Amino acid sequence: MGTVASPHFVIFPFMSHGHTIPLLHLATLLRQRFIAVTVFTTPANAPSIRDFLQDVSISIIELPFPKGVLGIPSGVENTEKLPSMSYFYQFASATKLMKPLFEQALSVLQHPPTCIISDAFLGWTQESAEKFGIPRYFFFGMSIFATTLYQLLGIERPHAETTSPDEPFTFSSFPWLKLTRNDFEPPFGDLQPKGLAVDFMLEQGISFAKSRGMITNSLYKLEPRFADYFNQHLGPKSWCVGPLCLAKQPITTDNNKHETWRKWLNNKLTEKQPVLYVAFGTQAEVSAEQIQEIAKGLELSNTYFIWVTRQKVLDHLAGFEDRVKNRALIVKEWVDQSEVLRHKSIKGFLSHCGWNSVLESICAKVPILALPFMAEQHINARMVTEEIGVGLRIMPRNGSVRGFVEAEEVEKMARELMEGERGEGVRNKVKELGENAEEAVKEGGSSWSTLGLLIDDACAGKL
């Protein structure tokens, strides 16, 4: 009898911070189950991946990023470095040129791969997996709620009857949800969607259908109706193995370099001042006028807040830092968001509702003040406020979810979240869901068990 080779999982994240981190957490979880893991990336992304993993037993293979791609400046290997997000689909399509090198690297791996887990935007890896006769699972960094609604929009087309982008419609399977075309990222909410984004997603859709399954960064208890519906009516099979951010060991040391914000928050804790954490991710492009209005609202709200942002945002806010210095801290360097959210003084999160941020907030048991900008963030904001009830929403005055948000609304809702009755309600709900998340990833929990079943499935699926 020959010995059965131990499993070896190949992980290929998309070159974008929010897409990469969850898959590195997954790599860590797989290592804990004694599975060999190899991560593929590009030279410019490799140092931060090594730094993040700090696990020398995980192999990292670097493939050069394609050169001379139209609209992508030389040396740009990550979406954060793109001159504008309008180049996103050019960048994503350019990754296809890495296919021959990826396959060459797979062919010389000493330990043949059991499966490939790659980002949904790297659909071309499906063909590579088929060539090697191994299953491929794709990682879609969205909630099942958002994934389901985006798929159903294309299948059922309930928006076809609407006469304006803000006219509500419902889905036959989820009649309690009121959505508008503006909840979906353009051009997907259009009546006849077309263009680069649509072509790209149709191409990925073909590879989804051929794949072995979808890995979802969520827990079953967070969105059971949607998880069941997806697996019964849409597919391919979804495996809820999250929240993956809980794979990270909390940092206990107090003497590392981000001391300014920690000291400041410790002081607020001593003073018994609840703090609102403000952060809008790294990708959203927000107009100067909108940033000024948000800042004005925070200033008027009289709440204590910590705002993690970039210098180019502050360039639009002359004098703001000085005016709020007695009750706010503006942080311009990278911080560990999970760590900030877990600080005992943080009582709310003004967020763009990127899915990673939503999960980190739930895991830290901090309610969300939703202010979405792009991608599926508007759908996540609906989920957070209307479906799971862990947050409140800042709404534009003109009745459109994509309208301009005024300072008075920011002020009113910041106060409501931090001091109001509705804030108390969502605080209780997020505490309950945060406990569910902790249970899910513990040994014997739903996500823990699902990961075990996924490993079995991958090992059985190798042809």
**pLDDT value at residue 444:** 97
Is the same domain home to 340 and 207? no
**Inside any domain, residue 285:** yes
**Inside any domain, residue 423:** yes
- Top-confidence range, 67-76, 78-87, 218-227: 218-227
Is the same domain home to 312 and 188? no
Q: What is the pTM of this model?
A: 0.96
The pLDDT tens digits for 270-298 are 999 999 999 998 888 899 999 999 999 99
Is the same domain home to 80 and 220? yes
Average pLDDT over every residue of 175-193: 96
Distances (CA, A) of 398 to 166, 167, 379, 413: 10, 13, 19, 16
Average pLDDT over every residue of 257-262: 79
Inform me whether the pLDDT recorded for 2 exceeds 50: no
Is the same domain home to 203 and 126? yes
**Inside any domain, residue 156:** yes
**Inside any domain, residue 2:** no
Q: What is the CATH number of the domain that holds 424?
A: 3.40.50.2000
Is the same domain home to 113 and 231? yes
**Inside any domain, residue 3:** no
Distances (CA, A) of 156 to 149, 171, 195: 10, 8, 21
**Inside any domain, residue 419:** yes
Q: How many helices (H) and strands (E) does the chain have?
A: 18, 15
**pLDDT value at residue 343:** 97
What is the CB-side half-sphere exposure of residue 228 using CA atoms within 13 A?
7
Average pLDDT over every residue of 18-25: 96
Is the same domain home to 215 and 274? no
- Amino acid (1-letter code) at residue 149: L
The pLDDT tens digits for 207-226 are 999 999 999 999 999 999 99
Dist CA 346 CA 369 (whole Å): 13
Count of domains for the chain: 2
**Inside any domain, residue 1:** no
Alpha helices in 302-420 (DSSP H): 311-314, 320-323, 337-341, 355-363, 377-382, 407-419
Is the same domain home to 149 and 236? yes
Is the same domain home to 291 and 161? no
Dist CA 429 CA 70 (whole Å): 47
**pLDDT value at residue 189:** 95
The pLDDT tens digits for 417-438 are 999 999 999 999 999 999 999 9
**pLDDT value at residue 4:** 58
The pLDDT tens digits for 110-140 are 999 999 999 999 999 999 999 999 999 999 9
Is the same domain home to 278 and 216? no
Residues 6+ apart with CB under 8 A from 419: none
Average pLDDT over every residue of 319-328: 95
Q: How confident is the model at residue 267 (pLDDT cuts 50, 70, 90)?
A: very high
Give the domain range for residue 168: 8-247+439-461
Is the same domain home to 400 and 287? yes
